[in-house]
Structure 1
Amino acid sequence: MANWEGVSEFVAVAESSSFTLAAQKLSTSVAQVSRRVSALEERLAVKLLNRTTRKVTLTEAGMLYFQQCKHLVEGLEQAELAVTQMQTNPKGLVRVTAPVTYGEMHLAPLINQFLEQYPQVDVELMLTNQKLDLLESGVDLAIRLGRLEDSSLIARRLATRQSYVCASPAYLSRYGEPHTLSELSKHQCLVGTMDVWRFKDKHQSKSMRISGRLKCNSGFALRDAARRGLGLVQLPDYYIQQDLESGELIEVLPQYRDDKEGIWALFPSSVRLSPKVRLLVEFLAAGLSENSLSQR
């Protein structure tokens, strides 16, 4: 800022009564300090310093200006120090929003670990399946799952998720196992928030509309229904991984399994990412990656 030019140099000269000592303090040349102070005096249209070959003293106006500017320069130095320390010792509040179930299962435990490791950081975690406007709601970071809509937000992929179509052994014993996508119309399908399942057929994405007796917006409820033999279900791995490993649920149509989807960290493009938010994003990325590897 133009109004700050020469102020730090003037304060340094006033404190040391020397252009040479001021230049040493500011790690610059005597000529640079002299030019900045002279430009400041010219801008203010007032003489701040009496210069002789032997010493430098303040004029009356210089004394008044020094008393006011000294606190400003000290405040600026403290502000710069605080920001520098924040790089290594982050502090302050981070507001995060995430989907309810995924947030409870995977994010909350990691955020709790983060709070243990960084005691000067506070986190407000808002679990909701509504997509909040980050700027309007004052949110620093949003965690979103799956395919992203076009947005002005900056996205960082933290991890991936894999969806499976599966059913209980009892259901498959009673109704048979589907081997083609067209056979889904003959089966009871457990419907989530959308009545469309996604597949990959000969390297091309394909969506199939499904129907059944139960429709529910809870993945845990759909998982329970599938385990009870009420139908086929398509759910992400973090709901059913243990059931697939134990055999309580069996994957069907594996040849049509869709590609993995991203788990994303989103933040406003118009806001500079603060060290505390950046640190949390990196912490979540490392933690979710470890969780993903441990589930394989």
Structure 2
Amino acid sequence: MMKWDGISEFVYVAEYESFTRAAKEMAISTAQVSRQVSALEKRLNIKLLYRTTRNVSLTEEGRVFYQHCRGVLDSLDAAEQAVSNLNSTPQGRIKLTVPVTYGEQQLLPLVNDFMMQYSDIEVTAFLSNQKVDLVEGGYDLAVRIGKLSNSTLMAKKLSKRTNFVCASPTYVEKYGIPHSLTELSKHNCLLGTPDYWHFKEATKERNIRVTGKVRYNSGYSLLDAALKGLGIVQLPDYYVQKHLEAGELVTLLDNYREPEEGIWAVYPQNRHLSPKIRLLVDYLAESLP
């Protein structure tokens, strides 16, 4: 059993980047956590953690060891759940990362509904449009949109989205409609972070560079500008759908609309998908439009 000594303590410290927080989560003393981790490092003859008065971080060896230890603990957790019939009453912590706007508008309300059904589930969500390292960050799950470039991740498709190019009727009446991609250069395009838009021309996907007087890193601010007739915008359906239905926006360049993008739940290959995670993923897949 000596091989298991300090493993849980090390994993908690790695995930919370704090001996004090790890001790609180494990309901033991900080001194005990420190002793166990130090003994583990001594037994392995490897430095797993960098320690300063303010920060705790993994060494390169620590990151490798953490990945394996996290997988082992997940497997043990799944084994305990299997023998205690916890599949019907899932419990424990789920840590996930989701895109900001899609998370706020679509995903987290569903996560809240999920938690209302399963009161023993705890959820920590980090909203970011950056692709964080799931293993290093100790995440059980991430939701990502579009093409998946990282082949080391497992994925399940949850839903899909469509990007629309649109403008207000006021703008169209004043400045006209672009009939081709080249005509976009004659219009004020409302830009987000990138300065190009996605299209499909014939069978090829194209990125078209656009220009304009507005650049916001906020989809809602771009939507507001479009509604007020300041220019043409390209935004996902969950921003513009109700405004299209209300006639407050009209779609443009429909023949060049890019194919639908997948919305995916992704998780590391070496991370066992525990019953509570699988249940959440299935719930999101069933509930998302």
Work out the CA distance in 2 between the residues paired with 1:174 and 1:285.
42
Q: Structure 1 vs Structure 2: percent identity of aligned residues?
A: 50
- Residue 80 (structure 1) shift: 5.6
In the TM superposition, 1:88-103 aligns within 5 A as: 88-103=88-103
Query: For 1:87, what is the secondary structure of its paired residue?
Result: coil
Partner of 1:83: 82
Matched, 1:216 2:221: no
- Residue 120 (structure 1) shift: 1.3
Give the direction of change, closer, same or farther, for the CA distance of 1:125–1:81 in structure 2 (3 Å limit). closer
Partner of 2:152: 152
Query: For 1:86, what is the secondary structure of its paired residue?
Result: coil
Structure of larger gyration radius: 1
Q: How many residues align?
A: 211
Work out the CA distance in 2 between the residues paired with 1:107 and 1:117.
16
Structure 1 letter corresponding to 2:82: V
Query: For 1:115, what is the secondary structure of its paired residue?
Result: helix
- Residue 87 (structure 1) shift: 2.1
Unaligned runs of 5+ in 1: 1-78
Partner of 2:277: 277
Partner of 2:192: 192
Partner of 1:163: 163
- Residue 202 (structure 1) shift: 1.1
Work out the CA distance in 2 between the residues paired with 1:192 and 1:151.
28
- Residue 136 (structure 1) shift: 0.8
Work out the CA distance in 2 between the residues paired with 1:279 and 1:99.
21
- Residue 150 (structure 1) shift: 2.9
Work out the CA distance in 2 between the residues paired with 1:80 and 1:200.
48
Work out the CA distance in 2 between the residues paired with 1:191 and 1:177.
18
Work out the CA distance in 1 between the residues paired with 2:268 and 2:79.
24
Structure 2 letter corresponding to 1:249: L
1:145-178: CA deviation from partner (whole Å, max 9, x where unpaired): 1122233111111000000000011111111001
Partner of 2:230: 230
Query: For 2:113, what is the secondary structure of its paired residue?
Result: helix
Query: For 2:220, what is the secondary structure of its paired residue?
Result: helix
Work out the CA distance in 2 between the residues paired with 1:248 and 1:80.
54
Work out the CA distance in 2 between the residues paired with 1:209 and 1:144.
24
- Residue 182 (structure 1) shift: 0.8
Task: Answer with 230-239 or 85-94: which moved more.
Answer: 85-94
Matched, 1:116 2:116: yes
Unaligned runs of 5+ in 2: 1-77
Work out the CA distance in 2 between the residues paired with 1:151 and 1:139.
17
Structure 2 letter corresponding to 1:286: E
TM-score by length of 1: 0.69
Matched, 1:264 2:259: no
| Structure 1 segments (4+ residues) deviating >6 Å | none
Structure 1 letter corresponding to 2:144: R
- Residue 203 (structure 1) shift: 2.2
1:56-104: CA deviation from partner (whole Å, max 9, x where unpaired): xxxxxxxxxxxxxxxxxxxxxxx96643312222110000110111101
Matched, 1:201 2:182: no
Work out the CA distance in 1 between the residues paired with 2:80 and 2:256.
56
TM-score by length of 2: 0.71
Structure 2 letter corresponding to 1:214: V
CA RMSD of aligned residues (A): 1.3
Matched, 1:250 2:258: no
Work out the CA distance in 2 between the residues paired with 1:82 and 1:261.
35
Structure 2 letter corresponding to 1:184: L
